[in-house]
Amino acid sequence: MRNRVSAALTAAIYVLVLSSCGGDKGATSVPPDQAAYNAGVAAYNSQSYAGAAAAFQSLIVDYPSSNRIDNAHYYLGKSLYHLNDLTGAIAEFDFVLQNFPLSSLVDNSMLWKGKSLQRQGNIEMSAGNLAVAALKFADARALYQQVISLYPASTLIPDCTYQLGLTDYDEKRYADSLPLFQSVFTNYPNSTVADGALYYLARSTHELAQAATPGYSFAQARTAYAAMMTSFPLSTWTDNAQYQIGRTYYDELNYAAAIVEFNKVLSNHAIATAVDEAQYYLARSIHALAQAGTPGYSYAQARTAYGLIAANYPASIFVDNAAYHVALTYHDATQCTLELAAMQAFVTAYPASAFLATAAADISDLTLAVPVTHLTCV
């Protein structure tokens, strides 16, 4: 059954069609297929992707001879992409490529089909289907290369180069991704993907430093993150870059410096996507300094910081991690009674946590007549 257009879109189409039928003699005539197309584009631009998809589907069915059919299929594909119907999106982009080879949207369709395949590749990789993921990434990469080779004057060259870098990044081929991201930032500094390219250049450097790859350091990653923030202060990646600077210090065990950077995220980017992570790793940094006996840092401070995860970010994926680490602060202080209570509260509250087995083993140990790993309990 064909999807029905939303009431708002129906009204918009009606007004536009009415003007073409003499409803307003002073208005410019708009053909009904153009009116339907305009309504779909308006919905898409307002991020009403379900409404846009319905509008473009109606246009395709009701006006099959419209000179906007290629555009309608293309925008339907993009709408489905945003609705996470990647298979449906690919079918629409393929329709444009197969039936409208001279359309001005061929390069666009190649790019978005590639992005759809790339997202499928990431889904397969997350599911552990690495061979299938590799094929998806290879197909996406081929489409980006085609745009670059066949349409050298296309305005999409920066986007395709950026997506090529992301396919390498997604497949953890960080060294291969670096020159692609550098090319975007160097050759297309005013493109819409230049900030993302510099951010992922820093991320790739960061990953290589974590792997102790010769020639790459955390300091280099920090420099790249800082350059991204300086070059694109209004970028949506700025808060992530600030958080990742903190992570470079955390990853090289410089916890005091990490705390400074995580606090910058909490102070300056309160609605950042990584704000809960910043709070969690701030707590982990305090915890590590308390373990080392560093003056000015205590387990109590770490517990307070961990507690703010559940209090301020209850939907965070770090809530159970934080609760488990609260119990660990008592373990590290050999406060067995408090540790046991915290571990029992943890397993009750988070029965699906990845830390459940470890916590259960600790509870078993703590309830033995003579604790095995807590010989100096207080």
**How does DSSP assign 252-301, residue by residue?**
TT-HHHHHHHHHHHHHH-TT-TTHHHHHHHHHHHHHHHHHTT-TT--HHH
| 149 to 115, 157, 184, 212: CA distances (angstroms) | 18, 9, 16, 36
Amino acid present at 73: H
pLDDT band at 376 (very low <50, low <70, confident <90, very high): low
Spacing of C-alpha 331 from chain mean position: 35
Within 13 A of 147's CA, how many CA atoms are on the CB side? 29
The overall average pLDDT reported for the chain is 91
| 321 has pLDDT over 90 | yes
Q: Taking residues 129-136, what's their average pLDDT?
A: 97
Q: Taking residues 251-269, what's their average pLDDT?
A: 97
| 3 has pLDDT over 50 | no
Is residue 133 a contact partner of residue 114, using CB atoms and an 8 Å limit? no
Q: How far apart are the first and last CA of the chain?
A: 70
Q: Would you state the pLDDT for residue 368?
A: 76
Burial group, residue 378, by CB count within 10 angstroms (0-12, 13-18, 19+): exposed
Buried b (16+ CB within 10 A) or exposed e, 275-306: bbbbbbbbbbbbbbbbbeeeeebbbebbbebb
Q: Would you state the pLDDT for residue 54?
A: 95
Q: Name the percent of the chain in helix, strand, coil, to the closest 5.
A: 70, 0, 30
Distance of alpha carbon 2 from alpha carbon 243, whole angstroms: 46
pLDDT digits (tens, 9 = 90+) for 63-98: 999 999 999 999 999 999 999 999 999 999 999 999
Distance of alpha carbon 248 from alpha carbon 221, whole angstroms: 7
| 15 has pLDDT over 50 | no
pLDDT digits (tens, 9 = 90+) for 94-128: 999 999 999 999 999 999 999 999 999 999 999 99
pLDDT digits (tens, 9 = 90+) for 219-242: 999 999 999 999 999 999 999 999
Is residue 225 a contact partner of residue 202, using CB atoms and an 8 Å limit? yes
Within 13 A of 100's CA, how many CA atoms are on the CB side? 22
| 13 has pLDDT over 80 | no
Domains and CATH numbers, the chain: 1-103 (1.25.40.10), 117-216 (1.25.40.10)
Burial group, residue 313, by CB count within 10 angstroms (0-12, 13-18, 19+): middle
Q: Taking residues 198-208, what's their average pLDDT?
A: 98
pLDDT band at 4 (very low <50, low <70, confident <90, very high): very low
The more confidently predicted of residues 74 and 14 is: 74
Amino acid present at 202: A
Q: Would you state the pLDDT for residue 374?
A: 54
Picking from 75, 59, 42, the residue whose alpha carbon sits closest to that of residue 5 is 59
Q: How many percent of the chain have pLDDT more than 70?
A: 90
Chain length of the chain = 378
Is residue 53 a contact partner of residue 79, using CB atoms and an 8 Å limit? yes
Picking from 238, 220, 216, 217, the residue whose alpha carbon sits closest to that of residue 229 is 238
